[in-house]
Structure 1
Amino acid sequence: MRTTALGLTCAMMTAAVALTGCGTGPLDGGSLARDIAEQEAARLNDKFGHRDRVRDAEYIAATEVPKGAQTDGETHITPVGWSGRTTGDEKATIDVRFAVTVPERHAATLGDRGNSAGSATRCYRYVLQLYRYTEYHKIGCPAIATPPVPSASPVLTLPGDATDRLAAALRTATPDTLSGAVRAAFPQDGISVDTVTHEGILVAAVGVPAERDCILMIRTADGATKQLGYDPVQLEPGELGCSVGLYTNPPR
């Protein structure tokens, strides 16, 4: 009878410990810090996501890796290395350090174990490729106390007055001078120019293909210029792109 009572008492104590955490002590802060680092690394991988633009690794590191402290100042995310770019079959790699500090926290309520103070530093390498989802894996942290800060060169875009420039070029152009007039208005490398005379109408498409940026405009026989709309899907790779075909041969 004593054995049965003792067994029942032990079972009740075990259940109480499971429900309240009594006697198990605070959670280990170092373990919590490692978990937070892993969670933040996975979150950054999701943020990098699917790549659909040509970019240098340094540009991505400068513009897409969170700056400063995260999670109430307890997690510091720092790019510590980068190379390559996302174009063609090339790959961009970005190494990121996650330094997590967990302060001591005492139990506040019944069942709350609190945790000890702890810290962890983890590094991960992210591999980014055009038209692929980002992948990552853990690496050893480089011995760099203060890594260089990545900088982002401006991405090429159409100038702010692009619409006015194109309209002015069309107004003064003839079928013979159309191509040269539009190119003279947009001489920058990386800006595409496509022109044609179609049934007496001057047609021009000017854009930055890498950024899916495009202006389509016509000049009618009476000299009036008009900017036209189009389906943005047609700017994606494999479609018409920024071309006069958006007007002369639109997709059905």
Structure 2
Amino acid sequence: MKPHRSPWKLTATVLAIPAAVVVLAGIVLVIVIVVSMQDKDGDDLAADQVEHVARALVDDLRGARDLTDAETVAAEMFHSRSASVEPLTWSGSLGEGKGITIEARISAVVAESSSGALFAPHTSAGSAERCYRYTVSVSQDAAYEEIPCKGLTESAAPPSSNRPELPADAAERIGALLVATATGVADLVDALRAEFPGSQFTVEAVDTPAGERVVAVGVTPGSDCVLRVRLPDGEIVSPSYDRIWLEPGELGCSAELYTAPPR
């Protein structure tokens, strides 16, 4: 015969479980409050900020699809809103079948702060500076490592982008040629080539069955593109398109952005 369990003991057991949970939750809450009230060291915060930016840069390099030469990469990608990023040296070009190497100094400053409220945490002023070497192989595998800042050579001038760009007045010049060239497409292409000489420029011109004339002028490598259409009534329009199709590996700057846009 099983021993009889007192209903009072059963009730006490049932009540003890939620009580223990409440006590445990209270302990956790106290720990969270105590930790949140602790003063914060500005140097530690700045160092964390620098490392976060350093990791973000290599992640950006891994995700980029249009890397060219080291100087252009340094000029276009080595910056941050949360820390100072200074490219110091750069060498190599993926376009020449070589990897690229960039050495950069990353620094951050944390200002002293406190809300002034009772028991509010205080953050001391602090700063951090680290230097890193970034490498991108020909297969575009990116890596980075921390290196000593002392003794690093610094370039006399900041890096500048070598990526080709269309002239600022390219759209106006293309529109004028569309109006002035009433003969065949081949003549228009010749006129555009004369207006935009050089292998860095791409030029396309086609006529559609609807009597439209479509022109696309761009640069390579790069995503600059002017797309213009002359309608049968002579009006020049600038059709919209998704700029993602200008990215490397996509359609690029082509008349097909209008005549046969990707789906």
Shift in alpha-carbon separation, 1:149–1:225, aligned structure 2, 3 A = closer
Question: 1:187 maps to what in 2?
Answer: 197
* Distance in 2, Cα, partners of 1:119 & 1:224: 59
Bigger shift: residues 87-96 or 195-204? 87-96
Question: 1:202 maps to what in 2?
Answer: 213
Question: 2:262 maps to what in 1?
Answer: 251
Indicate whether 1:57 and 2:70 are aligned.
Answer: yes
Q: Which amino acid aligns with 2:70?
A: A
1:97–1:141 CA contact under 8 A, matched in 2: yes
How far the C-alpha of 1:179 sits from its partner, in A, is 0.9
Question: 1:158 maps to what in 2?
Answer: 166
What secondary structure, in the 3-state scheme, does the structure 1 residue paired with 2:228 have? strand
1:209–1:235 CA contact under 8 A, matched in 2: no
Shift in alpha-carbon separation, 1:38–1:137, aligned structure 2, 3 A = farther
Q: Which amino acid aligns with 1:54?
A: L
Taking structure 2 as the reference length, the TM-score comes to 0.61
Bigger shift: residues 58-67 or 42-51? 58-67
Indicate whether 1:127 and 2:152 are aligned.
Answer: no
Question: 1:218 maps to what in 2?
Answer: 229
1:54–1:130 CA contact under 8 A, matched in 2: no
Identity %: 35
* Distance in 2, Cα, partners of 1:114 & 1:167: 58
Query: Which structure 1 residue ranges, 5 or more long, are not aligned?
Result: 1-19, 21-26, 103-108
Shift in alpha-carbon separation, 1:34–1:58, aligned structure 2, 3 A = farther
1:167–1:217 CA contact under 8 A, matched in 2: yes
- The number of residue pairs the alignment matches comes to 219
Q: Which amino acid aligns with 2:176?
A: A
How far the C-alpha of 1:88 sits from its partner, in A, is 8.3
1:203–1:218 CA contact under 8 A, matched in 2: yes
What's the CA shift string for 1:9-52, capped at 9, x where partnerless? xxxxxxxxxxx9xxxxxx9x9xx858844641431331451323
How far the C-alpha of 1:193 sits from its partner, in A, is 0.5
Query: Which structure 2 residue ranges, 5 or more long, are not aligned?
Result: 1-33, 35-39, 111-117
RMSD (Å), alpha carbons: 4.3
Question: 1:94 maps to what in 2?
Answer: 102
2:90–2:101 CA contact under 8 A, matched in 1: yes
* Distance in 1, Cα, partners of 2:200 & 2:220: 8
How far the C-alpha of 1:139 sits from its partner, in A, is 2.9
1:83–1:92 CA contact under 8 A, matched in 2: yes
* Distance in 1, Cα, partners of 2:237 & 2:101: 44
Match of 1:137 among 124, 145, 148: 145
1:124–1:138 CA contact under 8 A, matched in 2: yes
What secondary structure, in the 3-state scheme, does the structure 1 residue paired with 2:166 have? coil
2:70–2:100 CA contact under 8 A, matched in 1: yes
* Distance in 2, Cα, partners of 1:137 & 1:236: 29
Question: 1:24 maps to what in 2?
Answer: none
What secondary structure, in the 3-state scheme, does the structure 2 residue paired with 1:233 have? helix
How far the C-alpha of 1:205 sits from its partner, in A, is 0.6
* Distance in 2, Cα, partners of 1:207 & 1:172: 20
